[in-house]
Amino acid sequence: MSLLSIRPAVVDDSSTILKFITELAIYEKAEHEVLANEQTIKETIFAPSGHVNALICESNGTPIGMAIYFFNYSTWLAKPGLYLEDLYVTEAQRGQGAGKLLLKRLAQIALEQGCGRFEWSCLDWNTPARDFYHSIGAVAQTQWIGYRMAGNTLHQFAKDD
């Protein structure tokens, strides 16, 4: 039986985080979109004035998963919220409770920080993840449509008059 534990990520976890990000991107059929490298992870997640946080899940001391999150703000609640950017558990270790343990720790952090919400997004085709989220009581927010501006579009829009 494996002993699962959650701890805050440290800068020495940068290569492990990059490995997990890459594995997640492969699973999501978007490996070509990963621009992160070990140095950029160190400079962003572990920046002294950074706004991003990460947790590592270990099984018997070996990293098997991660959660990357940040705080946002709800104007309607006038409270901060916790936004989970990425949750990942290595394929061979799924089904042992690591994902649920990471989510529970994030929920605890949200409450400790006075958050009114704990939110995340999931690809519409990722049925195993969606089924899991529903099983723990999470509710899909189908009335909201996410929008994104990135790359050249972001640059062009920012400088257009």
Query: DSSP E strands: which ranges in 48-109?
Result: 52-59, 62-74, 79-89
CA 94, CA 92: separation in Å to the nearest integer? 6
HEC-encoded secondary structure of 24-39: HHHHCCCHHHCCCCHH
Beta strand pairing call for 79-89 and 62-74: antiparallel
Which of 69, 83, 88, 133 is catalytic? The answer is 133
Concerning whether 83 is annotated as a catalytic residue, the answer is no
Q: Catalytic site residues? A: 133
